[in-house]
Structure 1
Amino acid sequence: MKKILVSGANGQLGSELNLLSENYNQFEWFFADRTHLTLDNLSVLENQLGLVNPDIIINCGAYTAVDKAESEQELADTINHLAVGVLAKWSLKNDAKLVHISTDYVFDGTSSIALTEDASTDPINIYGATKLAGEHLCLQNNPQAIILRTSWVYSSFGNNFVKTMSRLMKERETLSVVNDQIGSPTYAADLAEAILTIITHSDWKAGIYNFSNEGEISWYEFALAIKEIGGYTCEVSGIPSSSYPTPAKRPAYSLLDKSKIKKEFQVKVPNYKESLKVMMSL
């Protein structure tokens, strides 16, 4: 029986994989939190991997506090870049498969068409820069790895935009949301399904793949969909990013093209609104 190690077990994606794992009992699952797999302490990481000795690693662990990363560059780089290199090196040496999760923030946001996997990268914040460095080191240390870039992740687990908006719409009469950042949300349960489709596919096709839900929207339009599905009466208005300054800049456009993952692995990509309805009905 093949053993799957999932890092970042308590995060949104790790939690969704944990839920789904019950349907995949052909695998032995090991869900690692920070105590099992210390991504910020490289000196013990290799030993920890050896103790579990997985056949497949799904690296959901990451430093994802985008604004905080601007002031915690070293920590973000250790987790998002250097630790990925250790996982990649170990997986190649021990003949294990590696799926690593990356982000749309590797792009600068100046595109006006959906971004393919070979579109040029140029991150505009520390988080994106550390994730891109992690991608490079991952494929350098293990060319057989699969990298999945995703965007705007939400789930019924953890903290995310959908939960925050739902709470604020209950508490407030008015709300302003940025309307000039365009992309597509990702329901973590759909991403978890996509990962399992890849892992159970007859062919392992290494490289970079994009995954997010279908649809091209702004955060403001996402908020309107949450309002509609939740039946909230809060008045939601759109504002430019310049009216809501943050320590880290965000890409203005980071819509991901999903053609490759559909073609190579026959992955199903639901529309963002359908998935949002599913999550909000839980």
Structure 2
Amino acid sequence: KLRAQKMVKQTTNNYTIVRPVFIYGAAIKQVRKTFVQWVTDGLLRNKTLQVVNDQIRTPTYVEDICVAIETIIKENQFGTFNLSGSQIITPFEMALKTATLLNIDTRLIIPVNENNFNEIVKRAKRSVVNIDKAKMLLNYNPLSFDEGIKKCFPV
């Protein structure tokens, strides 16, 4: 990704790069499942889930990204824009909040640290980006995970 971004920047001055972080939203068929969908599917099948509690994220509700991209297009904005949610949270906390919202037993969710998984590529412990530029130039006002997760499962 970084190499592609560098190539774009070297090619033109009129570029726009959108860098979203840990996207989630309502399920869409034929689209790769998000973390929230993985959690939901597992919980609805009454599976025990091991979820990391030693990493932090700023999950981004997909509609916030759509609004930002619409603003970029309408206002002819250029540059690199980091887009993330407004809430810093662990994947474990995300899973608990999802289970609670769906009224599913949270005891199915087991906290573990990243060493429990043999991932080829290690994830960053802290995946938090600066969204000040997007807030200033795009009037970007992302939802917290608590707000966004409710939109994924309207009651």
| TM-score normalised per structure 2 | 0.89
Within the candidate set 166, 169, 178, 2:40 is matched to 166
Aligned to 2:66: 192
Structure of higher CA gyration radius: 1
What pairs with 1:1-282 in structure 2 (closer than 5 Å)?
Answer: 131-156=1-26, 157=28, 158=31, 159-172=33-46, 174-201=48-75, 204-235=76-107, 236-281=109-154
| Distance (whole Å) between structure 2 residues aligned to residue 182 and residue 209 of structure 1 | 20
Identical aligned residues as a percent: 26
| Distance (whole Å) between structure 2 residues aligned to residue 190 and residue 205 of structure 1 | 17
| Distance (whole Å) between structure 2 residues aligned to residue 230 and residue 194 of structure 1 | 29
Partner of 1:217, secondary structure, is: coil
Question: Is this contact kept in 2: 1:181–1:218, CA < 8 A?
Answer: yes
Partner of 1:231, secondary structure, is: coil
| Distance (whole Å) between structure 1 residues aligned to residue 91 and residue 118 of structure 2 | 15
Q: Deviations over 1:32-53 (max 9, x none)?
A: xxxxxxxxxxxxxxxxxxxxxx
Structure 2 residue identity aligned to 1:259:
D
Partner of 1:260, secondary structure, is: helix
Structure 2 residue identity aligned to 1:175:
L
Please list every run of 5 or more consecutive structure 1 residues that lacks an aligned counterpart in the other structure.
1-130
| Distance (whole Å) between structure 1 residues aligned to residue 149 and residue 55 of structure 2 | 19
CA drift at 1:173: 5.3
| Distance (whole Å) between structure 2 residues aligned to residue 264 and residue 184 of structure 1 | 20
| Distance (whole Å) between structure 1 residues aligned to residue 73 and residue 78 of structure 2 | 11
CA drift at 1:232: 0.8
| Distance (whole Å) between structure 2 residues aligned to residue 197 and residue 267 of structure 1 | 9
Question: Is this contact kept in 2: 1:179–1:238, CA < 8 A?
Answer: yes
| Distance (whole Å) between structure 1 residues aligned to residue 85 and residue 20 of structure 2 | 9
Aligned to 1:5: none
How has the CA–CA distance of structure 1 residues 265 and 234 changed in structure 2, closer, same or farther, with 3 Å as cutoff? closer
Partner of 2:43, secondary structure, is: helix
| Distance (whole Å) between structure 2 residues aligned to residue 173 and residue 185 of structure 1 | 23
CA drift at 1:268: 2.2
Question: Is this contact kept in 1: 2:60–2:142, CA < 8 A?
Answer: no
Structure 1 residue identity aligned to 2:134:
I
Q: Deviations over 1:131-156 (max 9, x none)?
A: 00011011111221111111111222
CA drift at 1:277: 0.6
Please list every run of 5 or more consecutive structure 2 residues that lacks an aligned counterpart in the other structure.
none
Higher relative contact order (CA 8 A, sep 6+): 2
